[in-house]
Chain A
Amino acid sequence: GENVEQHPSTLSVQEGDSAVIKCTYSDSASNYFPWYKQELGKGPQLIIDIRSNVGEKKDQRIAVTLNKTAKHFSLHITETQPEDSAVYFCAASILRNTGFQKLVFGTGTRLLVSP
């Protein structure tokens, strides 16, 4: 089955710096790659997602890139702010015509942004 590896497990940056989190997946059939942000005591919040027919997607300070050949995708956060501090999870899934999808998650990256 699908396996998703995520690095690094912890990442400390200064406010204003950029942060990059990388994930690799094993199942070449995976075609949907969401990223979630989880704050302490809360559920995962979708921040951005990308489908396999797109190589890059950007939403303000957040961007995701996908390399299907290498089977890896990355989250890029620019101009980090203290409120970006949280645990970030990548996930991979196979979208079918039936609609069902099971998300396979990475192990998470704890991002700490220091003022």
Chain B
Amino acid sequence: KAGVTQTPRYLIKTRGQQVTLSCSPISGHRSVSWYQQTPGQGLQFLFEYFSETQRNKGNFPGRFSGRQFSNSRSEMNVSTLELGDSALYLCASSWDTPSSGNTIYFGEGSWLTVV
């Protein structure tokens, strides 16, 4: 069974540019969430999608956005990149049903470097 797949794994962008990261959840998982990981701030929740709807959003500026498609695949976008956006961006998926336990599984992440 394939895990959570994230692309690209590594990318370098210039300040002011925008970036789009992609995530394919585990087959059958309907909830997709995104986290940012940095040495200084640790793991922080960005947002979560279910059935193409954003259900909750973390405390990040509007430059960070996302969406989910009908096949549960998700993308996140960061516009007007800043140096501080350099981080590991992690996608996670879960069944999102109480009976299944809602266990959250993470992908390997996308390493973004802003120069």
Contact = CB atoms under 8 A, between A and B. Distances in A.
Interface of A: 32, 34, 36, 41-46, 49, 89, 91, 95, 97-108
Contacts, number: 63
B31 A34 contact: no
Interface in B85-115: 90, 92, 94, 96-98, 101-109
B48 A100 contact: yes
B103 A102 contact: no
B103 A43 contact: no
Interface SS of chain A: loop
B104 to A, nearest CB: 6
A99 B97 contact: yes
A92 B44 CA distance: 12
A100 B106 contact: no
Contacts of A91: 43
Given A45-B106, A46-B104, A95-B98, A100 B50 contact: yes
A44 B90 contact: yes
B108 A100 contact: no
A98 B4 CA distance: 22
Contact of A34 (B44, B58, B97, B104): B104
B67 to A, nearest CB: 17
Interface string B47-84: 01010000110100000000000000000000000000
